[in-house]
Amino acid sequence: MTEEHLTADLLKQLSAAARPEDYLLQGETIDRELSDYLNELRNDRGMKRAAVVRESAVNETFVYDIFKGKSLPGRDNALKLAFALRCSLIETQRILRLAGVSELWPKRSRDAVIIWCIERGLTLAQCDDELYRLGEQTLVNPEDDSA
């Protein structure tokens, strides 16, 4: 996977540009789809889609549609995919952004627990244990087997 500049660095470059086109000519902008990014992550980790399905606890058909670019996940499903792909916090935030949902925000207690779990490399099941222990809504809901 190619190394990308952090958004904060790009914002500095954009703010310093005399004209928008000066920034655009630097070639830092990308038109990336969520499905492309998820497939890059999966390939980088040597995972098969079946493993992502199994580890994410997301409906198999829905996961395949997401990876094909036919569907976008909601926030919790995007987070479950990030856990399945063993994403860093930066990668997780990028998945959420590309899915068109809000990023994790440490001022929200549930998000703070999820961030803590991601930063420590915990699994989805371990994160759910922490969420449950602290009285927060878990990511995997037994009654929710859909998108």
pLDDT, one tens digit per residue, over 91-101 is 999 999 999 99
**What CATH number does the domain containing 81 carry?**
1.10.260
pLDDT, one tens digit per residue, over 57-78 is 999 999 999 999 999 999 999 9
Contact criterion met (CB below 8 Å) for 139 and 131? yes
Q: Would you state the pLDDT for residue 147?
A: 44
Residue 143 lies in a domain: no
Contact criterion met (CB below 8 Å) for 37 and 60? no
Q: Are residues 97 and 128 in the same domain?
A: yes
User: In the predicted model, is pLDDT for residue 53 greater than 60?
Assistant: yes
Number of domains in the chain: 2
CA proximity to 83, closest of 42, 122, 133, 53: 122
- Round the average pLDDT of the chain to a whole number and report it: 89
Q: Are residues 84 and 100 in the same domain?
A: yes
Residue 30 CA, chain-centre distance (Å), reads 17
Residue 75 lies in a domain: yes
Q: Are residues 47 and 20 in the same domain?
A: no
Q: Would you state the pLDDT for residue 94?
A: 94
Q: Would you state the pLDDT for residue 50?
A: 94
Residue 144 lies in a domain: no
Q: Are residues 124 and 61 in the same domain?
A: yes
Residue 44 lies in a domain: yes
Q: Would you state the pLDDT for residue 28?
A: 64
Label residue 58 exposed, middle or buried (CB < 10 Å: 0-12, 13-18, 19+).
buried
User: In the predicted model, is pLDDT for residue 21 greater than 80?
Assistant: no
Domain that holds residue 25: 1-30
Cα–Cα distance, 130 to 123 (Å, whole number) = 11
Q: Are residues 48 and 112 in the same domain?
A: yes
Q: Are residues 41 and 104 in the same domain?
A: yes
Q: Would you state the pLDDT for residue 137?
A: 96
User: In the predicted model, is pLDDT for residue 146 greater than 50?
Assistant: no
